[in-house]
Structure 1
Amino acid sequence: MSKIPANEKYKGKGKRKCKICGTAKAVIRKYDLYICRRCFREVGESIGFRKY
């Protein structure tokens, strides 16, 4: 068997990671944020989102 190229090794949800903590779970992609929901709660206001 041939080796799988690095750019094709991960597909789908595993390829999208949080910019801050690196997790692949619960990533917010809207507006090209790519931040997980846990990190978003911490930095949301500082990047311009309002809390209601």
Structure 2
Amino acid sequence: MLAPRFSDYVLAYTVAPGVLADGEYRWRVRAEDGTQVSAWAPWCSFTVRATA
């Protein structure tokens, strides 16, 4: 996994091929600025199908 890249509103990670097994993955986020914490975002998901 590479270090995250930041912009004003985007955080992106690159995952090397073969790191994730086939299947469904779920994630969610929230923001923190040192004093305040947001609510959790809704769940997002993606599916890995390396073999066709």
With the shorter chain as reference, the TM-score category is under 0.3
Higher relative contact order (CA 8 A, sep 6+): 2
Higher strand share: 2
TM-score normalised by L of structure 1: 0.18
Question: What is the TM-score of this pair, normalised by structure 2?
Answer: 0.18
